[in-house]
Structure 1
Amino acid sequence: MKPVFTRRDFIAAGAALAGTMMLPAALAATRKKVRIGMIGTGMRGQVLLQELLRRDDVEVAALCDIEPVMLGKALGQVAKFGKPKPVTYGEDRDPQAYRRMLDAGKLDGIVIATPWEWHAPMAIAAMQAKIPVGCEVVAGITLQDHWDVLNTQLKTGTPYMLLENVCFRRDVMAVLRMVRAGVFGELVHLQGGYQHDLRAVKFNSGDPARPYGGGVEYGAKGWSEARWRTEHSVRRNGDLYPSHGIGPCAMYTNINRGNRFTRINTFATKARGLHDYVVKQGGASHPNAKTAFKLGDVVTTTLACENGETIILQHDTSLPRPYSIGFRVQGTHGLWMDLNESIHIEGQSKPHEWDAFQAWQDKYEHPLWRKYAKTAEGAGHGGMDFFVIHAFVEALKAQAPMPIDIYDAVTWSAITPLSEQSIAQNFQTLDFPDFTAGQWKSRKPIFAFDDRY
């Protein structure tokens, strides 16, 4: 399908071309404080809420959740920080309670941290209400969801940011500066993914005090993510969580800004890990041992780019393994890999030997990390959650373009339904939609790194 609206419908089109992760001094903040609402105060929502509450330039004005336990925990966080109690919605367990929050208005922005299937409808409703959106990954479930989110943003002009925190990881940001400086030469191949043992996330005992592990329940008998996330592994087969890996790779290769994805295909292995976990933890007689999981244990996606690069993503969440994104950035001068924290640059490294990456990271440390490393201490995911919320809030205050914008959001997230389609069609290679309608040719790269910022 083609988008109904063009970029001309976006009232901030000119400014969007100049968007950067860091706001230059020229974009002086026009607001000193912003009022933000949050939809979804579960485990992830509470992490993001903490970052909002830590800030003096944010008033958490409204909270919405249909689970009283989680809403109560969020209110406890607010009280702990000594902040005014926000207006709350959802105590009546009405799934549409968020609409009352939006209708009440008086919000400068909203953060969505709900189960995936709610992201698109909630973001669309917020944009229609002219409330800027910071949405947790993913942007939607179906491919049509992505077109609908995009078209709503283009029609309303309401800012939308995908809250992809790995783009703000310390080494990832240093490598981006290295890419911009030409350290790796011309980029040729990249890799990333989401390789994270989620078995104890997808199953638990249903006890709110133990959201991770302790049992093999999911769905109505589960708690937290086990209540909703596991069902996606039952009925879907694809790369269900691509943005952690593809976000930085897309930034490195200037996707939607002089480059684009052109083709995609995906392969999936057999599904064994989740069944084996249920049997080992709950016994072969447990009812969930009869569940037929559709999600392949390791899902591998290959993307081709207009400028000749290839990118490999792997989704690996059902088998025992340590956490890893598995980044690899390779060019004509050398490569970096995060798993071994090593780098090899021809002419500077010994032939056929790795160098430790730390010295390079120190040299190319991003100015944001130089400035805010101490402030970010204690924030979720090694400080990344501070930076992603910081970027969203600073853009709201300056009324500036979002650093991870609507085109980034739908392009990265659409990998999921496209991967599902590829697998379902016997691993067929598919054309990748151009969500920019050709404007990728003229849009400029973001992330201008300069000590002036």
Structure 2
Amino acid sequence: MSQDRRQFLKSVAVITAAGVATSVTTACASSAASTVGSPISQGKSVMGLVVPRMDVVRIGFIGVGERGSGHVKHYCHIDGVEIKAICDTNERVLNESIATVVNNGFAKPDSYTGSESAYKKMLERNDIDIVIISTPWRWHTPMCVETMESGKHAFVEVPAATTIEECWQLVDTAERTQKNCMMMENVCYGRDELMVLNMVRQGLFGDLLHGEAAYIHELRWQMKEITEKTGSWRTAWHAKTNGNLYPTHGLGPVAQYMNINRGDRFDYLTSTSSPALGRQAYAAKEFSAGHQRNQLNYIAGDMNTSIIKTIKGRSIMVQHDTTSPRPYSRHNYIQGTNGTFAGFPNRIALENVPKNIKAQYQQQYELAVKQWQKNGQSGRKPSHASFHRWDHDMAKWQADYDHPLWLQMGAEAERNGGHGGMDFLMLWRMVYCLRNGQPLDQDVYDAAAWSVITPLSAQSVADRSNSKDIPDFTRGIWQQAKPLGIVS
């Protein structure tokens, strides 16, 4: 019996050791999957990169469909730029954008078309400083990499990358070439988002705890775009990836509020998706049984919810839903120890209210009491403002906390348009930084960190919502990096 017992314990030890080894191997494999790419930089960090001042910013465009054509129009109203060349495989939209430039009194830009590789010829030019890339998602990273390799700065539509490997490619190339690679997250330049950034920087909400971000936008109608426009290529992603397909619009501003990559960073995420029902039902209703839209197997859950944890312990909820019939929302929610701002609709609640706002609250209270008395004290007596009730009146907050950039350029941005002016303001700010030797407000590390949520959320959904590590694309520089300096 003693010998049997010793043999049993020996067997248990072997089995346990094997189990531990398997667990360690699995954990290492999981970790490695989240840090695909070069752990050692091929160049130096581009955090806070400042490039030589440009008297004139010479621009080339790749892709002038719905987004790119808008960028061309805006740049025709921004000082200090020259539009040198435009590339697109669709000759109709190409010629329309060329006509836009000429009709605004500028020299006719050169055109590149004829094949999907026509942009490569444009990149051979030495009279272009920056390239604006507004193409389908699969082209974003390859075109950014080739742009930087050609000695030019890359500015790309969202998302900048669709895989972990692509995120590292962008970072490695930017560091090796010392060129800017900015994902053009226009929502960071909305009036509301800029105001909240200003409020956060002034400590209005106390120490930050939690944020919420979303892209909730019913886009089923895009499925009817078969041969061109966004739906012609974007629809297929719903049959390819089950995760958050489009995280950056809501996440970008919240990441800036929290100083992500500049004092804090994303640590890990967990993600879950609802059933994927809406697009299959829409296809069955709107298209014939044999139509290509009814041949796709839509796997992306109608609603995806991901939770990000930061190194400092903060939490961020990020949602994506472009299928359900419901009103548009980006959430734009930030919560701190002194209160909360929430968007859609805008509202605010604080425990310790600034003196000026507090005085206005008191005046409103006194007027309400007088009106209550005048009405014979009918109904409930008015009460003082409290964090238990939302304040929806944003005018007084805008008067005190509108962002300096919006105060300077907001009226011009609204005149030129583009999602309420945020598009124009973003493009104007890019040129301003390049002409004045200042670092951009967004860099390649932001592009990678915000974009990587898509592949990592898909990994988590496929793995029963188990958490996935988010790579440190800054390679530790986030600990010394200064917070975004757009507020001064």
Same fold (TM over 0.5): yes
| Distance in 1 (alpha carbons) for counterparts of 2:64 and 2:257 | 33
CA contact (8 A) 2:189 2:422 kept: yes
Name the residue aligned to 1:207: none
Name the residue aligned to 1:125: 146
1:75 aligns with one of 92, 98, 111: 98
Name the residue aligned to 2:432: 394
1:442 aligns with one of 480, 483, 488: 480
Q: CA RMSD in A?
A: 1.9
Deviation at 1:9, TM superposition (A): 2.1
| Distance in 2 (alpha carbons) for counterparts of 1:330 and 1:290 | 44
Deviation at 1:116, TM superposition (A): 0.5
User: Is the counterpart of residue 230 in structure 1 residue 226 in structure 2?
Assistant: no
Matched position secondary structure for 1:223: coil
Q: What does residue range 32-431 of structure 1 map to in structure 2 within 5 Å?
A: 32-90=55-113, 92=114, 94-204=115-225, 218=226, 222-282=227-287, 286-348=291-353, 349-356=385-392, 357-376=394-413, 377-431=415-469
Structure 2 residue identity aligned to 1:271:
A
Report which of the two structures shows the higher radius of gyration computed on alpha carbons.
Answer: 2
CA contact (8 A) 1:274 1:293 kept: yes
Deviation at 1:195, TM superposition (A): 0.5
Deviation at 1:79, TM superposition (A): 2.5
Change (3 A) 1:30 1:351: closer
Matched position secondary structure for 1:9: coil
Q: More displaced, 399-408 or 292-301?
A: 399-408
Could you report, residue by residue, the CA deviation over 1:124-181 in whole angstroms, capped at 9, with x for unpaired residues? 0010111011111111121101111110111110111110000011011111111111
Could you report, residue by residue, the CA deviation over 1:92-128 in whole angstroms, capped at 9, with x for unpaired residues? 2x11111100012211111000101001000000101
Structure 1 residue identity aligned to 2:461:
I
Deviation at 1:10, TM superposition (A): 3.1
Deviation at 1:6, TM superposition (A): 5.2
Deviation at 1:12, TM superposition (A): 5.7
CA contact (8 A) 2:46 2:174 kept: no
Name the residue aligned to 2:44: 10
CA contact (8 A) 1:301 1:419 kept: yes
| Distance in 2 (alpha carbons) for counterparts of 1:227 and 1:322 | 24
Could you report, residue by residue, the CA deviation over 1:355-392 in whole angstroms, capped at 9, with x for unpaired residues? 12332122101111111122112321000001111122
| Distance in 2 (alpha carbons) for counterparts of 1:404 and 1:129 | 21
Change (3 A) 1:131 1:182: same
CA contact (8 A) 2:53 2:434 kept: no
Change (3 A) 1:31 1:288: closer
Change (3 A) 1:294 1:59: same
| Distance in 1 (alpha carbons) for counterparts of 2:45 and 2:449 | 21
Gaps of 5+ in 1: 20-26, 205-217
Matched position secondary structure for 1:390: helix
Could you report, residue by residue, the CA deviation over 1:316-345 in whole angstroms, capped at 9, with x for unpaired residues? 101212221111111111101111211000
Deviation at 1:287, TM superposition (A): 4.9
| Distance in 2 (alpha carbons) for counterparts of 1:6 and 1:62 | 36
Deviation at 1:54, TM superposition (A): 1.1
Structure 2 residue identity aligned to 1:354:
W
Matched position secondary structure for 2:487: coil
CA contact (8 A) 2:243 2:455 kept: yes
Equivalent pairs: percent with the same residue? 37
Scaled by the length of structure 1, the TM-score of the pair is 0.89
Deviation at 1:351, TM superposition (A): 4.3
Name the residue aligned to 2:361: none
Scaled by the length of structure 2, the TM-score of the pair is 0.83
| Distance in 2 (alpha carbons) for counterparts of 1:11 and 1:406 | 10
CA contact (8 A) 1:203 1:230 kept: no
| Distance in 1 (alpha carbons) for counterparts of 2:387 and 2:230 | 47
Gaps of 5+ in 2: 1-34, 354-384
CA contact (8 A) 1:6 1:154 kept: no
Deviation at 1:2, TM superposition (A): 5.8
| Distance in 1 (alpha carbons) for counterparts of 2:307 and 2:45 | 35
Deviation at 1:82, TM superposition (A): 2.0
Deviation at 1:49, TM superposition (A): 1.1
Question: Whose helix fraction is larger, Structure 1's or Structure 2's?
Answer: 2
CA contact (8 A) 1:303 1:310 kept: yes
CA contact (8 A) 2:74 2:416 kept: no
